[in-house]
Structure formats: C-alpha cells, structure tokens
Structure 1
Amino acid sequence: MTTIEEIEDAGLTTDARPQAPRDKNEETNNAIEDNIAEEKSREPQTTQIPKSIYKRPKQSKPKIPKTSPIANIINIANCNGVHIGKSISYNIQKPPGKFDDKERNYVKTESINKLLNCTEQVTRDHIMFVSSHVGEGWKDIGRLLNYSDGQIYQFEEVNIVRGLKEVVYQLLLDWIQNEPETATIARLTNVLWDAKQEDVVQRFSKKFVV
C-alpha cells in the first residue's frame, strides 16, 4: 500500500486531505436518526382537515310574524234581550212557608171541622197514627207548637236512627206530657192544617171521627 509520504517523494500531488477518525457515538446517532426517518416515511400520510369543516351549521330560528291585537266591534241597534256568551239559568223557588196562601187541594169537610173544634185530650194512639203519616214539613209542626229550632234539631239527632216516624212521635209525646192542658185534638188538628199536613188531617178525621 502506498503511503502519502511515498507519493510526495515521487513528486505526485493530491487534493485529498486526511479525515479525522469518526466517533463511534456519532455514527450510532446517525444510524438511529436514519432509522427514525425511514420509519416515518413508511407511516401512512394523514391529512389534517381544517376544524372549520366540523363546525355545525347554525340553525336559524323561524321568525314569528308579529301580530297586532285585533278587536271586533259589533254594533247592535234596535234589539231587545241580546245575550253574548254562555247562558246560565237560575231556577229559584220560594220555599214553602208555614202560612203560604197557595191554593190547597183539600177542603175542610164536616169530619175535619169536628176535629178542629174537639176539646178532647190527645192520646198516644192519636200521635202514633199522626206520626206515621207526617212527611216533609214536619219541622213546621214543632215550630207551631212553640219548639225552637235547637230543640227540633235535638229531637232529630237523638231519634233519626229509628226513622222520621220516631222523631215526630217523640216530639208530640213531649208536647202532650209537658202541656197536657193545651194538648187537645183541636190544637193538634189546627197545627197539622197550618203546617200543610192536610192529608194527615183528612186521614185523622176518617180514623177517629164517627
């Protein structure tokens, strides 16, 4: 092998310069970098999509047209009894009173007149019969016998379990026991007649008047 010194002695020239010995670590680093570059070149190329493409389009809200209030004016002339809207009817009836002048379906017969003027004392048989026929308006009987609404209410609360007949019977029984002097057939008949219990009076006259 010819050395540089031999070439120079032979009168030959060269532009080659001796290179410094390579560092092994540098060669290793270069090799690693080459391998990384080669691996990156093998990876599939991904294309980055601009973020603006993924933006959802803004949904425009439907515009609601502005409406102005409208008032309908109806002029009605020369009319009577015009009604607009729902029709509500109220049926208000006057409750039957104790001394209502309403026409009665019963007349005072001879037998009834005898009862209206009879001074005999009322017995338990009499009030037993009467109480079995008294219906609506029975409280008016108690009022005409000078019982208060509170007393009538108490008679009802205590005896209503056994029926209305028992309530009326106990009321009349209390009356004949506490007012024996005024508890006459005439008094009872007049009270029944004024309390609109004409049917009871008629039956009473047929039962006890001969």
Structure 2
Amino acid sequence: DLTHDAAPLGTTTGEPPSSATSCSPPSPLSCPSDNDGRPVTGAFKTPEVIHITGSKGVQIGPVYNISSPIVQTTPSQQQSSREDQQPDPRPPREHVLQMLQITREISESDKALIGEHLGDQWRQLGREMDYSSGQLDNIDNDHRRLQDKIYELLTMWHDKESSAATVAQLTRLLMRIRAFEVFKRFHRTLNL
C-alpha cells in the first residue's frame, strides 16, 4: 500500500504528525532527504498512484526502437527487385480453360495422380465436395497413408457423382482450394 506513508488526512501545514518525529530507516517514500542524504523534517512526500484501465499496449519503462536504415532505390532497382520476386503460383488462364472443356469422367490414373500430390489439402477438397467432417474423419481413420485417404475421397466422390465427376468438375474443385501445383501436374499429364 503506497498511501501508508502519506501525511494523515487533515494535515495541511506540512508538519509531521506527532507519531512521526524521526525517520528510521530513511525511505524515499516516508522520509524525503536533502542532497546529502539526511532526512528533511517537516516535509512529507505523497506517493503518486496511477491507475490505468481499459488500455491496450501500455509501455512502462524505456522504449528502444531499432530500425534498419532507409535505403533509397532507383526505378531500375525497383524493376529488378520485382523480377526477383516469386512467380505467380496460379496456372495460366488458357490451361484452366482447356481443362474446363474436358467432359470425360475422371479415371483411376487421375485419382492416383491427385492422391500422390494433393497432400494436406485433401480435407479442404472433401469439404468442397460437400462431405461432412464426420465422413472425412471416417476416411482419415480407415486409411493410414495420406495418398490412400485422397484416393478414397476421390473414389467416394466419383461413386456419388457418377458421370458428373468429370475432369472439368475436378478442375473447378482444385482451383477453389487453390491447389495450383496439383492442377499444373494434372494438366501436364493430359498433354494438352
């Protein structure tokens, strides 16, 4: 409690109360001192209490901001830095349009290829195919290898959709879950 060393209520003269005639041991809150460290009589410091409520990001203490120096670039440097960036992961629009024209049902080799490369996005694909979490959990529990889980998901979808489970429809699903690398591999295998 910071208020126990303050002057009692009603004391206005700055004189110490009768029970506080000496300061032993001296403390910065209870007994103010002069420059030589000797207690000053007749003056009491009132401790300062600050209440902070409803705040976010309050910093108590020093703040050290360290930032890298600002480097000015020329337009030619900006151009080359854009070229150094990663290429766009999306497949070319022409490839997507070609795949959307293929109306044949998916084959066993299509399922195997997707199963080999889809990875952890298989649950996302399953949700896009309108399978519940319970159905996806059953596939997960029934099959140990990830490749087998994906193959089973595609087989269930093919059985459910029958002739509607086409390359074009699978392309739409792969694009919705942003499985661009899988799509690119799928496109290459079809030799379009």
Judge same fold: TM > 0.5, yes or no.
yes
> Does 2:57 match 1:73?
no
1:137, CA displacement in angstroms?
A: 2.4
Match of 2:129?
145
Structure 2 matches for 1:163-178, cutoff 5 A?
Answer: 163-178=145-160
Q: State yes or no: 1:202 paired with 2:178.
A: no
- Following the alignment from structure 2 to structure 1, what is the Cα–Cα distance between the partners of residues 47 and 99? 74
Superposition TM-score, scaled by structure 1 size: 0.51
Do residues 118 (structure 1) and 102 (structure 2) align? yes
Measured in 2, the distance between the counterparts of 1:176 and 1:81 equals 53
CA spacing shift, 1:81–1:167, aligned 2, 3 Å: closer
1:75 Cα deviation after fit: 9.5
State the 4+ residue runs in structure 1 displaced beyond 6 angstroms: 67-70
Instruction: Report the Cα offset of residue 110 of structure 1.
Output: 2.4
Q: Do the aligned residues in 2 keep the contact of 1:121 with 1:184 (CA within 8 Å)?
A: yes
Q: Secondary structure at the match of 2:163?
A: coil
Could you say what the CA RMSD is over the residues aligned between the two structures, in angstroms? 3.1
- The number of residue pairs the alignment matches comes to 122
Where structure 1 has 5 or more consecutive residues not aligned to the other structure, the ranges are: 1-64, 86-103
> Counterpart of 2:149 in structure 1: which amino acid?
V
Gaps of 5+ in 2: 1-24, 31-45, 62-87
> Residues 41-79 of structure 1: CA distance to partner in whole angstroms, max 9, x if unpaired?
xxxxxxxxxxxxxxxxxxxxxxxx9x9999553699xxx
After the TM superposition, which residues 1-210 of structure 1 pair with which residues of structure 2 at under 5 Å, given as runs? Answer: 72-73=48-49, 82-84=58-60, 105-159=89-143, 161=144, 163-210=145-192
Structure 1 pair 146–75 and aligned structure 2 pair: CA distance change class (3 A): closer
**Higher RCO (CA-CA < 8 Å; seq separation 6+):** 1
Give identity over the alignment, percent: 28
Per the normalisation by structure 2, the TM-score is 0.55
